Structure 1
């Protein structure tokens, strides 16, 4: 259904954010922008935060509470009133000692979640079981889109070009680190070491020689026991594009293309460059052949992971003009100055209109097998 069961009320949108991953604060920042953009005349918006310990709470959203501070201070979920999402009842207040209080049916959840325990299919599975519509990719697509190892496996199965890599499983590293070092040596240095299931550039290191490898793997393991070591795309240009699910089942639509421009003091597109300096150029200055490759590969990557709703697709453009798929983000950063909204703004779709389209796509989509 595309409207609430009670025609006399506005559709209720629960914006869910926070969570237990290392990207908790980034999720909060994204959610603050989404909440501000949802039209209160059209939607009943309920902010629901997931605390770092996993509790669901009603989150009062005051001006600036869910924003990056002037000195880079990161926000966090601080609400006290605990809630649960239950089939047939919607949101229910579950504070200890109180009689459960039903807040009412939720028509759609906007899961502004980044990383494990939210973007990785866990929350999507809960919403499917609760028979609640939601914005974005389904259970499998969300899970694969969060795990860079399985994402690459599907890309390769679909014939998409990717960088070579070595997978470091926790038991392999603990039992036979020499074998991992030997496998990485075959990739040739430099390499990038990254957590397999984290984002926002947390835990990523550039490694220029074998002496730095062990420390980089241990740093990545702080965020995820499963680690990816990937060949560096030497002298490559990094470009990104937005993809939206086509209306009425049509072909996915692509946005303008951005190019990441990292200052010399950064060895790669790290957290500071991404969130504090916003180093990019929109639209990217690319020849027509590369633009066509990016458009084609973006749609193919979107469909290879069976993504619904939205995605940002990231690429490397090599000096010989070959284009390689880096990754798909099924729930990219969503502040008004994040890359995904900016790409669509450049393409003629404003931030509020983008949020509106995603909510309507979710309202029009059934839960369950499809």
Structure 2
């Protein structure tokens, strides 16, 4: 997508983000890896740039970007360590979008300006020890007591939990209704009584991202904390924002593909074996060509589905296609990047070693690759007239 497709204001934002990534984030990658934390001063700069409010309407203090625009910004953030995008990801995604789409006006006015400014970081609490891809089987409960609900349960692998200002918590409000129908989405301010955290998760990669268990024990919130004020709609709210979230992840994967290609080409041109640059060897060229082809296909898929989303089309299957293809392609490109680097690619001093570990998670969250396959196939079968 050419920058001339957008107005001058957005093009300026893109140029600013590109400079921020190149001049501030890439040089800080090793520090994040060593300290397992994103520096506070960088998070402050992200607030100043408005990155927490990418998807929040301008009327509530955000940038109000379209899906196409958001994808372009996230693609650029994908060219550096995953941890930086993770800081804003849960706020830009369902942390704000559930409220934007289904929240009451009071909820919007209370939370969206704070989220857009980065004064409150959102965290999405859905996954549980026994509920992941089968989100409708969640056990966290919210029982009604007068004008309040009392939440009990444990959420697992919750991104940004320790730094969150609020949680979007999925809890079962009607135990008599099986599956998704009895689930409600609550806005739960961080720091209130009844919320505690497990120890920080130790992960394969993605150092600098913050995940841990969140435990709710007799956590009391007012009944008007339910998003939209209507019990039993929480799962539907989550489903409404999944298309945008999956396009977002596909855009992120595309940016990571581009960074890996850059690292691979640079190393192949500089590294010499048998008296010449390894880039001259046809088998290395084959790996580079395969990676470039897949990265280009990923880019085109993201641009197409984002455009369709903005046009108001139903793109559930296409968003799944994009998320599935881009993240799987990213895994292959990361593997080739390590192979091109040879033994050096296994060493921590090279960015491809870190990216190789980091990218593995993208095929799991926001719906595993296998979940995406099921969504895509069911869509095709419905179109063929086969009823579920």
What TM-score bracket applies, with the shorter chain setting the length? under 0.3
More helix by share: 2
Where relative contact order (Cα < 8 A, 6+ residues apart) is larger, the structure is 1
| TM-score, normalization by structure 1 | 0.26
More strand by share: 1
| TM-score, normalization by structure 2 | 0.26
